[in-house]
Structure 1
C-alpha cells in the first residue's frame, strides 16, 4: 500500500517533545501540560460512530490535543457499522490513524485481522495505574493491549419522571418485583409505566443483560458472552421468563407491545420527558440524561432522575457498561501521531474536557468527580468507578456483530420477536442459540 511520506519525529522522541519526558516507556503517565507544538504539521485522522452533540464534544477533546501538540485532527463519522466502513477504508488505502471502537467484538475482529498496533508503554502504564483491571481486559486480545477505553456508559440506570412517581405515590424500587409493582401504581395513576424502545433491538439486549447478570450471576454472564454456555441453558430461559413478565403486561408498556416495537430510543425518552408524557419510566444508560436535557429541556436531578437497575431474584444489582475504545491502525498514514493522541486520551485532563461539556462518563479513576456538570452524572460516574471489576461489558457488544450488533438479525431480531410474543421463553432461547452458533462459528 502506497503511503504519503511524513516528517513525523520517530517513536519516543516525538511523544517526549509533545507531552514531556514522561511520555516514553520508562516514565510515568503522559502529562497534559506543556504544549510545545512538537507534532505541528501532522494530521491525525480519527473514525468513530459519533455524530451530533457527541461528535461536537469529542471535537473539543481533539482541539485540546491540537493545542498541546500542534497536530491537527480530522474526524469521520462512520455510523453504526464501524467494521465495514473501516475495512473498506483499509482496503482502499485510506485507513484512519485512530478508530473509536464501540464493541469488544469489533476490537477483537480488528486484532484478528492484524490491523491494530499494540498500545505504547506509556498508555499501558496509564491504564494499569488509572483504570480498573476489567477495562484493560476488555481492551486486550490474547494478553496484548490494543484498546484504550476513553468513553464509558453506565447501562444499569432506570430513568424516571419524579412527578410521575410522586403522583403514583411510589418511591424508586429496590427489587425487580418492586419495579413491576411500582409500574402498576404508575399505570393506575394515568400514565403507562415504561416506555420501551423496541424498534431499536439493542435496547432489548440491554434489558436482557441486566436481568441475566443479576439473576444468573457474573460467571454465567461471562460464559454466555463467550458462547462457552449455550443460549438454551436454563439460566437464559429463566431470564427471558423474568423479562417476559414485563413484556407481556400491556398495562406496563406505553402503547402496548405494538407501540414499543414502533418506538426508537429517542422516542422512548420523549415519551417520558417530552412535552406530552405517556410513561413514567424509561430504561437505558446514562446517556438518557443527555437526550432529556438537550432535546426536552429537562433539569437533571430535578424533573429527570434515575435509580439503579434493581436486583432480580435475590441476586445483586447489576452494573452493565459499554464504551468506546481508541485503537491505532497499523496502516494509518500518521500512526505514530495517532499513538500520541491515545497517550493524551489516557490522561484525566482529556477526559475532563468532555466531562465538563456533559453527556460523558470516564472509566479513568483519576478524573476528579467534581468535573462533571451535575450531581446526577457525578453519582452515575462514581457508581461506575466504585463497581470496579464487578462491571460487565455489554454482552451483545462482546459478540460477533452478526449476532449482537446487526439490525434485523441475530439477537436484536430474536428479542424483538420475543417482545412481540413473549409466551415461549424456551423457544426464544433456542432461536438465540441457533443465531449465536452460526455467528460465532463464522
Structure 2
C-alpha cells in the first residue's frame, strides 16, 4: 500500500495553480476534499499548426473550453505537484483539468458512481479496489492510445494489474519500491558494520548491534512503527510480503495472493516466524520507543527518526519514507541517512522487490477524458512529474536521472531492471476482507503477543 506522508517537504509553487476549498460540482463531494485546479489555454485557437513548445502534445488534439475532473487520494504537496505536471498539457490542449483529492476516496467513489456523479478519471490506489470499482459497471475500457502506451512503456505485470478479467481498464501511474532498510552511514563506518547481502547476514548484524551497538540504555537495533490511523498494521504486512517473495519465490507469492496458499501453510508461517525473530525479540526492538508492544502504537512516520537520535540503527520502510526525514537531512550513501534493500535469502538470488502504485480509470469515453488518460500513461508525463520531485514511476520511458534523489534514481533503476522480480503489494491485491482488514489487524495482534497459530487462522478465516 502506498500512503501519503505529511513530511517536511517544501511545496513547489506552480504558475497557474489555484487552490479552492470546494469541489467543482455535485453535492456528493466530501466537504473536506482538497481541490487543486491548474488551468491553461491553447495559443492556436484549436486546430491548425502546433504551437511552439507543444510538439509533444500534438497527438492529444485541441479541445478549447473542455473540462476534465481527475479524482484520487493524493493530497497536500503531492497534489500541488500533480497539478503542476499537467499544466503543459492544459496549455497545449485547451483542456481545463481539475484535481479533487479525498482521504475518503474508497467510500466516496462508490457514492459518486451510484449517484450518477462519477468523475471523468479516477486515480485508484490499489488493484483490488480497481476491481471493485470496475464491478460497478461504470468504468470504461482503456482506449487504444492508452493500451499502446502501456504496451510500450510498462511491463506485462503492470498491465495485468490494470486488467480485470480480460479487459484492460487502467494504466499505471506512480509507483513505490518497498523493503528499503534505512540506516546511518556514519554509524556503520564508525562501528565497522557492513551492509548485509543476505538475510542471515542482516540477522548477524542485528545480533552484533544488540551486543555492541548504541550507548543509550534505550538503544535497540531496530525501530518499527505500525500506527497509521484506520490502516494501522500495513507496515507489518510489508515485512511479510518481502519475506514471502524472497524465501519462497514469485510462484508461491502469486498463489498466496490468490488464496491458493493459505496463511497457515508452512511457507507463510516461516515468513511470519522470520519477522518475529526481529519484532518479538526484546533485545532487538523497539529502539527509543519501548518493547514489541510499542510497535502498534508508534506512528510509521516517526519510528525511523529514532535513527537520528541514536536510539536505533535500522528501519524497514518504502522508498517514499525519504520524504519523512527532517529538512536538512542529507540522504546519500555518504550522508546522514541511506538505505539498502531487504536482502535476498542467497546473495546470488535475482533481485526481488515488492512495491505499490496507482492506476488511472475512466468513467466516460469523451475525447478530452481519453486525451488526459493517454497523457498520464505516457513517458512525457512520467518525466515531467518525476522531474518536479517526490515520486517515482515504473514507466520504462522515464529517465532515472530525473528523480529528485539518489534513492529515487536507484528505485527507478530497480523497477526498470530486466531481471528484477517485481510483485505488487499483496495486501492490496487480496480481497478487502483479508488484505486491508484481517491481515492488518492480525499482524498487530502478532507483535502484541497473540500466538501465531491464532493469528494465521484468523486471517484464513476472513477469506470470502
User: How would you bin the TM-score normalised by the shorter chain?
Assistant: 0.7 to 0.9
Q: Are 2:392 and 1:356 equivalent residues in the alignment?
A: no
Indicate which of 148, 157, 170 corresponds to 1:147: 170
**Which range moved further: 244-253 or 81-90?**
81-90
User: What aligned pairs does 1:21-420 form with structure 2 within 5 A after superposition?
Assistant: 32-34=56-58, 38-79=62-103, 81-187=104-210, 188-190=212-214, 191-199=219-227, 200-253=232-285, 254=287, 255-273=290-308, 276-292=309-325, 295-301=326-332, 302-312=335-345, 317-330=351-364, 335-386=366-417, 390-405=421-436, 409-420=437-448
TM-score, reference length from structure 2: 0.81
Residue 8 of structure 1 corresponds to none
Gaps of 5+ in 1: 5-15, 21-29
Q: 1:36 to 1:403 in 2, by over 3 A?
A: closer
Q: 1:264 to 1:17 in 2, by over 3 A?
A: farther
Shift of 1:125: 0.8
Q: How many positions carry a matched residue from both structures?
A: 403
Partners of 2:237 and 2:367 in 1: CA distance: 37
SS of corresponding position for 1:287: helix
Residue 427 of structure 1 corresponds to 454
Q: 1:41 to 1:174 in 2, by over 3 A?
A: same
Partners of 1:194 and 1:19 in 2: CA distance: 60
Residue 11 of structure 1 corresponds to none
Q: 1:17 to 1:78 in 2, by over 3 A?
A: farther
Contact 2:264/2:456 (<8 A) preserved: yes
Partners of 1:18 and 1:372 in 2: CA distance: 35
Partners of 1:39 and 1:259 in 2: CA distance: 55
- Which has a greater percent of helix? 1
Partners of 2:423 and 2:444 in 1: CA distance: 23
Shift of 1:430: 1.1
Contact 1:48/1:99 (<8 A) preserved: yes
Shift of 1:35: 8.9
Residue 8 of structure 2 corresponds to none
Shift of 1:346: 1.7
RMSD of the alignment, in Å?
Answer: 2.6
Q: 1:308 to 1:31 in 2, by over 3 A?
A: farther
Shift of 1:63: 2.1
